[in-house]
Amino acid sequence: MTLVLPQPTTPGAFSAALGKVGEFTRQQPLGAVSFVIIFVMMFAGIFCELVAPYDPLTIDFAAILAPPSIDHWCGTDAYGRDIFSRLIYGSRTALVIGFTSSFVGSSLGATLGIASAYFGGRIDSWIQRFMDVLLAFPLIVLALVVVAALRSFVVGGVDMNLILAIAIPIIPRVARVVRAAALGVRVMPYVDAARAAGYSNSRIIFRHMAPNVVAPYLIMLTAFIAQAILAEASLSFLGLGVVEPKAAWGLMLSGNAADFYREAPWMILFPGAAISLAVFAFNLFGDALRDYLDPRFKV
């Protein structure tokens, strides 16, 4: 009879992920708190039909400008619509536009940054001069120019014009950071060895350079979600972003909210608090992610 001893098992991917989450929580407790806030926003945005107590488009003339109460936790607006429900639906709008704009802008910026660092010479000079032109404009000013110049077109209920207007100003800011990281990778011995082995430029870029700039890319991607949410709210407030009757935080601050801010201050207070909380959470999470991924910040 042969005695078979149990073999030691290696932790799976799920256990390893839990270990990373626990390590991040211990090292960056404020980052963990901000992640909880972001998770709650994402949950509310995804399941807003189940979470919101009222339809955000339902007009109730009997409850116009009703103050916060048990029936309406955040009060109602000038049309009797429940502000709490519109805040929940507005989180979906903010996160969809914020994530999409930041992803598109950061991905294009990272691609240009890696290409600029790898090829160098005239290509690097041309790309960087173009980035200089874009960087000459503040983010919100360039977004205003782009959204005014492009014709609005909607895909799947999302205004792609607004997304592009916010994504384009993000490109040069991410490109500069990723280029700086890629310049350090380009002179590494394994990149020279890959060139000597006759590997193509695309293989060197995607297999050797891109994986080594993922950390700054993720940090910039997370940080610019907050900027994208703030830009979307600003454009909607100015009437160049999301339009009625769709729920959006910036849109809730304009129009009737500005007319009734004395009689119904909750129309401004709660949307403003939602924008501030979202921007604060993403900025704090981005800083925590930077400190966690950057070895220079390791104790």
Q: Cα separation of 59 and 61, whole Å?
A: 6
What's the confidence (pLDDT) of residue 99? 93
Which residue do the tokens 């955000």 mark? 56
The β-bridge relationship of strands 158-159 and 154-155 is antiparallel
What's the confidence (pLDDT) of residue 155? 60
What's the confidence (pLDDT) of residue 13? 64
Q: What angle do CA 165, 169, 173 make, to 5 degrees?
A: 155
For 66-99, the pLDDT digits (tens) are 889 998 899 888 888 999 999 999 999 899 999 9
What's the confidence (pLDDT) of residue 5? 47
What's the confidence (pLDDT) of residue 142? 86
The domains found in the chain, sorted by start residue, are 90-297 (1.10.3720.10)
8 Å CB contact between 252 and 272? no
Q: Which residues of the chain have pLDDT under 70?
A: 1-14, 17, 151-158, 255, 258, 294-299
